[in-house]
């Protein structure tokens, strides 16, 4: 008598409704990049509500959340600093009201020659 082998078991698919260490790490990375919890949660296929619930029940995750937001703010400040002109003559913004037109170096207007 021959016995038939048992049917193959379907592959276990990962449970997308639960937080894992990898999901939490990916969430925190996205939070540091974009500063938006809803966007970071969507990137790991979780809801914003689930992210805030995890934050409420896991103090270490909450601490890392704050670190990620601080990293985002620092990166944003660095990006703003890099957009500033290196030299005032290279600045494309209009002159401030406190500056006079003739006060730029090399500008001889208003001087007797």
Torsion from C-alpha of 34, 29, 63, 61, nearest 10 degrees? 120
Q: Write the pLDDT tens digit of every residue in 7-41.
A: 766 565 555 679 999 999 999 999 999 999 999 99
Which pair of tokens denotes residue 31? 């939070």
How much is the pLDDT for 89? 72
Spatial separation of the C-alpha atoms in residues 5 and 25, rounded to whole Å: 41
Across the range 36-56, mean pLDDT stands at 97
Cα–chain center distance at 81: 17
How much is the pLDDT for 3? 75
CB within 8 Å of 109: residues ≥ 6 apart = 101, 102
């Amino acid at each position: 008598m021959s016995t038939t082998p048992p049917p193959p078991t379907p592959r276990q698919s990962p449970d997308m409704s639960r937080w894992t260490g990898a999901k939490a790490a990916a969430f925190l990375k996205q939070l540091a990049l974009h500063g938006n919890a809803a966007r970071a949660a969507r990137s790991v296929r979780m809801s914003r509500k689930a992210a805030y619930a995890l934050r409420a029940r896991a103090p270490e995750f909450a601490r890392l959340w704050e670190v990620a937001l601080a990293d985002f703010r620092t990166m944003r400040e660095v990006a703003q600093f890099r957009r500033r002109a290196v030299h005032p003559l290279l600045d494309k913004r209009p002159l401030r009201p406190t500056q006079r037109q003739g006060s730029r170096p090399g500008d001889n207007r208003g001087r007797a020659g």
